[in-house]
């Protein structure tokens, strides 16, 4: 049986084994996909042991995406642009590092939620690894501008400089944000701490929100936008499923259908709420 898995720490709550089991069943591929919790100080050693046991490919999540970037022998253009690896494929004794996060977000925004990004003004909140992973694919969708804003302003400035050859991208201090954005993407980890610093820019009924995080209920960012009049916000569950589908395609050469898997996963999340 082919062995795949997701590498992280912590990893117990990962939905990836469920997602990949559904993809494999739907595509008629026989594989085993497990969650592996690796020691934070021994990523390389423990991954080498898993490869020895026959691991053919892996998703990589927090906190190992940069370790995987350094570990890979070859990197795809997407991984180089993101500076991080969320998908590893082992073939011919080589480890190829890839990144499907940004294109997964694009698939969710455009294919599932039918958003048009061309000529739109997009605000991205946060300037960490998650932001770096999505900027390239977002810029390729030809927005009129991407503005980055971050609690630590210098990091936003640096990221805007890193990507400014690829489109109109700027940084703005959070308290100086002004005007209207068509789409506001929360790529901060503020939802984890359940606190959100108010945004001084305009928010109206047609402002669309997207949080890369997801949970059993709307995130604090989605609630903030709704309280301020935005009628539509999405969480990152769709991105999770889409980045997984792109990883699956990278390993198996088949792009699985995602809608049923997304709906099933949403039901699973809702059932957790009902249990509480």
Candidate list 83, 128, 167, 215; residue touching ligand ATR; CB under 6 A: 128
The residue at minimum Cβ distance from ligand ATR is: 128
φ/ψ of residue 29, rounded to 5: -110, 135
Residue 275 is assigned to a ligand binding site: no
Catalytic hit among 34, 40, 65, 257: 65
Beta bridge partners of 2: 31
Pick from 67, 61, 64, 86: nearest CA to 76: 86
CB of 89 to ligand ATR, least distance (A): 22
Residue 126 is assigned to a ligand binding site: yes
Cis peptide before 19 (omega within 30 of 0): no
Minimum CB distance to ligand ATR smaller for 32 or for 66? 66
34 is catalytic: no
CB of 80 to ligand ATR, least distance (A): 17
Pick from 102, 107, 129: nearest CA to 262: 107
Candidate list 151, 217, 255, 266; residue touching ligand ATR; CB under 6 A: 151
Buried b or exposed e, range 230-248, using 16+ CB within 10 angstroms: beebbbbbbbbbbbbbbbb
Candidate list 79, 130, 146, 230; residue touching ligand ATR; CB under 6 A: 130
Site for ligand ATR in 75-104 (CB under 6 A): none
Site for ligand ATR in 195-254 (CB under 6 A): 195, 197
Minimum CB distance to ligand ATR smaller for 236 or for 256? 236
Phi-psi region of 118 (alpha: psi -120 to 50; beta: other; left: phi over 0): beta
Name the one residue in this structure whose structure tokens are 């898993």: 50
Site for ligand ATR in 155-194 (CB under 6 A): 155, 188-190, 193
For residue 115, how many C-alpha atoms fall within 13 Å in the half-sphere facing its CB? 27
Candidate list 102, 126, 137, 143; residue touching ligand ATR; CB under 6 A: 126
Site for ligand ATR in 22-61 (CB under 6 A): none
Question: Contact residues for ligand ATR (CB under 6 A)?
Answer: 126-130, 150-152, 155, 188-190, 193, 195, 197
> Which positions are catalytic?
65
Q: Which residues are annotated as a binding site for NADP(+)?
A: 126-130, 150-155, 212, 236
Annotated binding site for shikimate: 14-16, 61, 86, 101, 214, 243
């Amino acid at each position: 049986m082919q062995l795949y898995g997701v590498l992280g720490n912590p990893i117990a709550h990962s939905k990836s084994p469920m997602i990949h089991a559904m993809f494999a069943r739907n595509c008629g591929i026989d594989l085993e996909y497990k969650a592996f919790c690796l020691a934070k100080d021994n990523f390389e050693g423990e991954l080498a042991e898993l490869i020895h046991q026959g691991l053919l490919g892996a998703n990589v999540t927090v906190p190992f995406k940069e370790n995987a970037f350094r570990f890979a022998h070859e990197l795809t253009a997407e991984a180089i642009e993101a500076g991080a690896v969320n998908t590893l494929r082992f073939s011919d004794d080589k480890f190829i590092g890839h990144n499907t996060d940004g294109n997964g977000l694009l698939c969710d925004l455009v294919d599932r939620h039918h958003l048009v990004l061309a000529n739109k003004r997009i605000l991205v909140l946060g300037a960490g690894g998650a932001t770096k992973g999505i900027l390239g694919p977002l810029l390729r969708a030809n927005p009129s501008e991407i503005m980055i804003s971050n609690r630590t302003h210098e990091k936003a400035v640096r990221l805007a400089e890193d990507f400014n050859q690829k489109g109109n991208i700027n940084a703005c201090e959070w308290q100086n944000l002004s005007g209207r954005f068509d789409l506001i993407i929360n790529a901060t980890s503020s939802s984890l701490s359940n606190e959100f610093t108010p945004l001084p820019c305009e928010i109206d009924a047609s402002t669309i929100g997207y949080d890369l995080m997801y949970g059993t209920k709307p995130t604090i960012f989605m609630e903030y936008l709704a309280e301020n009049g935005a009628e539509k916000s999405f969480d990152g569950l769709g991105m999770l499923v889409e980045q997984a589908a792109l990883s699956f395609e990278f390993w198996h050469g088949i792009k699985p259908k995602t809608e049923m898997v997304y709906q099933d996963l949403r039901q699973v999340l809702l059932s957790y709420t009902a249990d509480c």
